[in-house]
């Protein structure tokens, strides 16, 4: 049996190696929608505050098409910003005209309780093939 040991694997161009045809998380971000500010992320180039409770998450590397899977979590509920996970909400993952939909490079998130609100905790992931 052979053993491969490496500290860093790079692409032939010297950048980070990219998973392409494997079903792993291709984008994730944890951010504060109130600010908005990214706490930590992977394959995210920017956040754009669209309106109260709505944020564009823009990916650095595009997905192969708009049919990727993903998840969205926020702690906004009942029209107030909650600073704990006692009241949770999942949804608003660019799934309708009201949230703006999704493209190969952008996901529009919407935090909604009884009204759109900026949430202090938002988590978004995308799973599928990169272009």
pLDDT (tens digit per residue) in 27-72: 999 999 888 899 999 999 999 888 888 888 999 999 988 888 888 8
Does position 90 have pLDDT exceeding 50, yes or no? Answer: no
Q: Looking up tokens 């944890």, which residue turns up?
A: 30
Q: Looking up tokens 């909400």, which residue turns up?
A: 89
Return the minimum-mean-pLDDT range out of 16-20, 22-26, 33-37.
Answer: 16-20
Question: Which residues share a beta bridge with 44?
Answer: 59
Question: Which residues share a beta bridge with 51?
Answer: 54
pTM of the predicted structure, to 2 decimals: 0.72
């Amino acid at each position: 049996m052979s053993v491969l040991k490496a500290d860093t694997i790079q692409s032939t161009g010297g950048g980070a190696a990219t998973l392409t045809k494997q079903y792993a998380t291709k984008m994730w971000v944890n951010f504060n929608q109130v600010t908005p500010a990214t706490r930590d992320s992977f394959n995210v180039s920017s956040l754009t505050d669209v309106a109260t409770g709505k944020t564009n998450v823009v990916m650095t590397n595009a997905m192969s098409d708009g049919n990727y899977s993903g998840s969205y979590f926020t702690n906004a509920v009942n029209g107030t910003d909650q600073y704990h996970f006692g009241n949770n909400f999942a949804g608003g993952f660019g799934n309708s005209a009201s949230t703006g939909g999704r493209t190969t490079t952008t996901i529009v998130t919407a935090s909604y309780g009884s009204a759109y609100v900026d949430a202090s905790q938002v988590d978004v992931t995308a799973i599928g093939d990169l272009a």
